[in-house]
Structures are given as structure tokens and as C-alpha cells.
Amino acid sequence: MGQALRRIYNGFTTVLVALVVLLAILLVGVRAVGLMPYTVLSGSMEPKYHVGSLIYVQKTDPMTLEVGDPVTYRMPDGTVVTHRIIEVLEDPVEGRRYRTQGDANEIPDGSPVSAGRIIGKPVFTVPYLGYVSWFVQNPPGTYVVLAGALALLILTMLTDVLFPPKKEEEQKEENAPSEDAGVI
């Protein structure tokens, strides 16, 4: 019975660790391959990008952007926005700029976006993961995640305490053939 509980416990902690690693890759690890994750906070790009989704943005040369491309850029106040390019403006003084508009918005954005404020193009999105990302990045979510990571570490280290390995004598007895063995 003890061995069965130990296997279940080990399986449970293995699944938890795998989920934590997967979540860490989706939230942070993607940066290693040049993708930046951003949480969708408004419905301006519905139905393409739903509120609460996490979008992954790849750095893009602004000169390759065209009308119809979704683009992620930084507003002068630092806010990150993803809207669609509806017009490319060539200005000899200010350089290339882009007029943008959210898919769900009825009017274009107020001022054109300069090429220097472009972060990149969204390449894919994961629904609802933005809620997790937002929670993890802000207290009390940060504290909950740190406490959970510590608890998971303790759980994985407690296997031998909760389910001590059998002594040699017990293992020999368990592996020895029973008296009934061979009797038909």
C-alpha cells in the first residue's frame, strides 16, 4: 500500500512541476526565442484578440509593415497597444508613420504611430493566459506564486519523509517466493 501511495504522490508532484515549467516557458521562456508576451486588457481588437489573452509579439522591421497588419506599439505615455494598420503615411520630415485602428473601434486612433515606437507584430495568442500573467506580475499574485513554488519544492523534497524507503529486510521478504509458490 505504501509503495502505491508513493507512486501516486510522485506522479502528482511530477505533473505539478511539469505544469509550472510549461507556464514559466509560456510567460518568460519565449523571450529566449525573440517573442515578447503582452496581456490584452481591452476589447479594441475583438474578435481577433480577446480580453485576457496573452499575445506573443515578434520584433519586426517597421519598413516591412503594410496596411492590414496588426502591430504592437508603445504610446508616448508608455502604454503598449495592439491595433491594425489602416494607412501608411510617408512624410519627408517625420519619416514613415502608421495610422492605426482597433478592429472593434469605429474611428481611427488619434495620431499616427512613428516607426520608432513599433515593437513588432503579434504572431500568435493564447486565450485566458493573460489573466494568469497579469495575476503573477502583480501583488498579491506574485506572493501566491512564490509561496506555491516554495510549497512545491518542499513537496518534492518530502517524498522520503512521507514514504520512507523500505529496509533491506522488508524488501527481501517482499521479493521472496511465497510458500504457496509452485503449488498447483
Please identify which residue in the block is written with the cell numbers 514613415. 96
pTM of the model: 0.77
Give the Cβ contact number of residue 41 at 10 Å.
Answer: 14
Tell me what the mean pLDDT of segment 139-149 comes to.
Answer: 91
pLDDT in tens, 25-82: 998 889 999 999 999 999 999 999 999 999 999 999 999 999 999 999 999 999 999 9
- pLDDT tier for residue 143 given thresholds of 50, 70 and 90: very high
The pLDDT of residue 172 is above 70: no
Mean pLDDT of the chain: 89
**Phi and psi angles of residue 122, each rounded to the nearest 5 degrees, phi first:** -65, 135
Percent of the chain with pLDDT over 90: 62
Contacts 24+ apart (CB under 8 A), 159-166: 159/6, 159/9, 159/10, 159/13, 162/9, 163/2, 163/3, 163/5, 163/6, 163/9, 166/2
pLDDT digits over 85-116, tens only? 999 999 888 899 999 999 999 999 999 999 99
Q: Does residue 142 sit in helix, strand or coil?
A: helix
